[in-house]
Amino acid sequence: MAIIITVKLVGVFRIDRFKEQSYPLPCGSRAVDVIEALNLSRRLLGIILINGAHASENDQLQSGDCLTLMPLIEGG
Amino acid sequence: MKMNTTDPAAHPEQVLYSRCTVDLSNGQQTIEDVPCRNLEDVLGGFGRSFQDLAQRRIESAYCDENPLIVNTGLLTGSTAMTGMRTYFSSYSPIKGSKKGLPAAMWSAGSGKFGAKFKWTGLDELVIENRSPQPVYVVITATDTGPQIELRSAEHLLGLSTHDKIMALSKEYDNAHFAVIGQAGENWENVYMGAVALSTENQLKSGEDKCRFAGRGGMGSIMGYKNVVALVAQCNDKIKPVSAEVKKVNLNVIKGGGAARLQPIRRGGGGGTWAAYDVLQAFHAVPVNNFRPQGNDIPEKLFRENVEKDYFIESQACYRCGITCHNNISEKNADGSRGEFLAKFDYEPLNLLGTNIGIHEAGQAARLIQLSDNYGMDAISLGVTISYALAYNERHGDQPILNGAQFGDYEKIRQLIIQAGEGRLPEIGCGSMRLSQQMGETDYAYHVKGLELAAYQPESNPGYAWAIAGGHMSMGTYGLLTREGKTDVDSWVKGITEDKLHIVGFDMIGLCKFFDINNGIGTQMVVDCLRSEFGFEIDAQSIRAAVRRAFLLGLALELRQGYEKNEFALPAEVHKNPNPHIKLSNITSEQFFAQLEQRVWEIFDPELEELLK
């Protein structure tokens, strides 16, 4: 069985990828599966949100979820 | 420094630092090797200067008894990456308690001045009293140690920070400079004067690429003392990088938090500017005096939109591999680089851009350039202007100053010019005083008299306990945004244990991007100290020294008349919560009251000893 989620990318993660996209995944997929499939840099990955709430890369995804992946830059 | 021990934690008195005290009233000077009192003295920076400031009871920043202490950290001028910091400490003209007493303050800056200062053989310069005539101080290395001279600065008066530096660079080879602009010269009406520090890039290119010790009005203190510039002249004294330090430096570039700051072409996040994208995802980029509107207006200053029209270069400080900032220039028709405009860091870009309704990059850059050239703290300046604009928005029929509104570039530009020239004390003296004068203090975005950095207070109640301005003296600004912490326990721990350690960087001479999340009590710093000085010191002792230094800062705030209720966020945050910010609400009055109680329960017993 497959699920469909929405993936939103922020900042440099959009370069050569996309801003927002529907994303089919096998049932039982976790955030890390998307991170790896998109080949996002772990060094840059700062924040993972599932439906607007902070989450970890091992959190499981459900159909209809919105997964937001952000780099984090600090200071100024 | 003279190091006669390998164990500075147990025997700090066997480490001596070279201090010159100059009395400007008569030109007398004393150079001495001073034994360290404790590990804070050994580390340096504000850890040492605050102990000296604590020995003086100062009731007005502009008095002869208030010293200006210029010093470096133990690793300034070393082979450790980012070791470029200079510190300026004094009682501040802008940060003060409601009782009217000035707060002890320090400000840090990079550039190459700090390393040159250290290489002259001097570790600390204490400037006492006030000169009857404008002078500059020349520090040179000689065979017998550092030599200090005062020289007339009449020819430098009225010049911008950049022009002062370039004028001095023609007189002094092999030197670097710390100068004030017209703002510092007009200290009576400008409390937010910054100190500009020269960079190699600036001296080579002739472009105004200074770094700044901006916070707290240390440039205004220099101006009050009639010291227009400092010159540090000597040969570079860079040692070969040891294998141990090389490993640490590589870790700083590749393994630590700094990786996120690297240029995009090197796989990084693109410097501090990239905070825009992340914070906008939460609608937490400050807009129009810290009131995000839930729309996409901040995106106009996203890098991807700016680089269509302007030429952007990622840049690093001298001998640093982090490349934290971006320089913006005009773009020629053929796509090549045109006239240099300004350095784009997140804070000035937001506070002199989006937060005052300026969404065109070139205009924001020119306002930053003006602020830099006059020598003002871009944070205090931007936030004070945004307060005035917010006032005018509320009082369309009776606006103040020149009636400027959000986004009114020409009128805002005029405000900056007038403030920088000392003709507009309403702006020059900061948002706390202006808001008190106007009788509307709720939406003045300062804490304890010092304007907020460009992080919404709704995301950081820790601002209240920052001792030298948030966000760089209380590292809680990512606790909600990055870590998603919404419980009081996590915030109490963050404020009272983990995140206060960010101030350690302002002792040891390193930039916070060395290891921003972990502070200086780490194996990386231990390894550097062993390699550079043969010190055997453990991370725990360093952490303990940083905590003591932080607590002394808090104790000094209380001694200077701050009441507990002044450790607070701008009232608008509680009274009129912003519905557009997509973060959990952790700044309700209830949450903050619990936080206050728990934080003081931890700090109070430790402060009691210090306040005796």
A17-69 pLDDT tens trace: 999 999 999 999 999 999 999 999 888 899 999 999 999 999 999 999 999 99
Query: Closest partner residue to B478 among A44, A71, A74, by Cβ?
Result: A74
Gap between the Cα atoms of B395 and B101, Å rounded: 31
What does the pLDDT read at residue A75?
A: 63
Contact A47 B482 (CB under 8 A): yes
Report the pLDDT value the prediction gives residue B587, as an integer from 0 to 100: 94
The amino acid sitting at B280 is: Q
The burial of B362, by beta-carbon neighbours within 10 Å (0-12 exposed, 13-18 middle, 19 or more buried), is given as middle
* CATH number, domain containing residue B222: 3.60.9.10
Mean pLDDT, chain B, integer: 96
The pLDDT score that the predictor gives to residue A24 is 96
> Is A44's CB within 8 Å of B259's CB?
yes
Bridge-based pairing of strands B124-128 and B15-23 is: parallel
Determine whether the interchain pair A11/B582 forms a contact, defined as Cβ–Cβ distance below 8 Å.
no
Q: Please state whether the peptide bond connecting residue B325 to the residue before it is cis, i.e. omega within 30 degrees of 0.
A: no
C-alpha pair distances (Å), A8 with each of A48, A72, B283, B304, B393: 10, 15, 15, 17, 35
Chain segment B542-598, per-residue pLDDT in tens = 999 999 999 999 999 999 999 999 999 999 999 999 999 999 999 999 999 999 999
Which residues share a beta bridge with B68? B127
pLDDT of residue B573: 97
- Could you report how far apart the first and last alpha carbons of chain A are, in Å? 46
pLDDT at B215 over 60: yes
The whole-angstrom separation of Cα B147 and Cα B122 is 9
Average of pLDDT values for B471-477? Answer: 89
SS in 3 state form for B36-85? CCCHHHHHECHHHHHHHHCCCCCCCCCCCCCCEEEEEECCCCCCCCCCCC
CA atoms within 13 A on the CB side of A34: 36
Strand partners, B245: none
User: From its phi and psi, is residue B375 left (phi > 0), alpha (psi between -120 and 50) or beta?
Assistant: left
Task: Please state at what angle helix B361-374 crosses helix B409-420, rounded to 10 degrees.
Answer: 10
B436/B98 Cα distance (integer angstroms): 10
Nearest CA in chain B to A54: B484
Candidates B26, B503, B64, B188; CA nearest to B56 is B64
What is d(CA A43, CA B154) in angstroms, rounded to the nearest whole number? 52
Is residue B132 one of the residues assigned to a domain?
yes
Query: 10 Å Cβ neighbour count for B471?
Result: 25
Q: What's residue B186's pLDDT?
A: 98
| Chain B residues contacting A via beta carbons under 8 Å | 254, 257, 259-261, 264, 267-275, 277-278, 281, 324, 345-347, 453-454, 471-472, 477-478, 481-484, 512-513, 516-517, 582
The answer to whether the complex's ipTM is over 0.95 is no
Radius of gyration of chain B (CA): 22
User: Higher model confidence: residue B14 or residue B320?
Assistant: B14
Report field, pTM of the whole predicted structure over 0.80: yes
pLDDT of residue B165: 98
Looking at residue A19, its amino acid is K
Extract the tokens encoding B452: 């907020």
pLDDT at B56: 97
In this predicted structure, what is the pLDDT of residue B517?
Answer: 85
Per-residue pLDDT tens digits for B449-459: 999 999 999 99
> pLDDT tens across B235-287, in order?
999 899 999 999 999 999 876 556 777 777 777 777 788 889 999 999 999 99
Burial of B589 (0-12, 13-18, 19+ CB in 10 A): exposed
What is the Cα–Cα distance from B592 to B598, expressed in whole angstroms? 10
* pLDDT of B330 above 90: yes
Using an 8 Å CB-CB cutoff, list chain B residues near A75. Answer: 272, 324, 346, 471-472, 512-513, 516
How far is A72 from A35, CA to CA, in rounded Å? 15
Strand order in the sheet with A53-54: A20-26, A2-9, A66-71, A45-50, A53-54
Residue B317 pLDDT exceeds 90: no
Whether B241 is in a domain gets the answer no
Overall number of domains in chain B: 1
User: Rounded to a whole number, what is the distance in Å from the CA of B316 to chain A's nearest CA?
Assistant: 14
Q: B582, A53: Cβ pair inside 8 Å?
A: no
Q: Residue A72: which of B482, B512, B513 has the nearest Cβ?
A: B482
The residue of A9, A68, A72, A74 whose CB has the most chain B CBs within 10 angstroms, and thus the best one to mutate to test that interface, is A74
**Residue B130 domain-assigned (yes or no):** yes
Q: Smallest CA–CA separation between B485 and chain A, in Å?
A: 9
Please write the tens of the pLDDT for every residue from B477-522.
999 999 999 999 999 999 999 999 999 999 999 999 899 889 999 9
Number of A/B CB contacts below 8 angstroms equals 86
Residue B547 lies in a domain: no
- Which range of residues forms the domain containing residue B63? 2-233
More confident site: A41 or B294: B294
Are residues B274 and A71, on separate chains, in Cβ contact within 8 Å?
Answer: yes
Pick the CATH number of A2-71 from 1.10.1520.10, 3.40.50.970, 3.40.50.40, 3.10.20.30: 3.10.20.30
Residue B315 pLDDT level (bands cut at 50, 70, 90) = confident
Give the whole-angstrom CA distance, residue B578 versus residue B595: 20
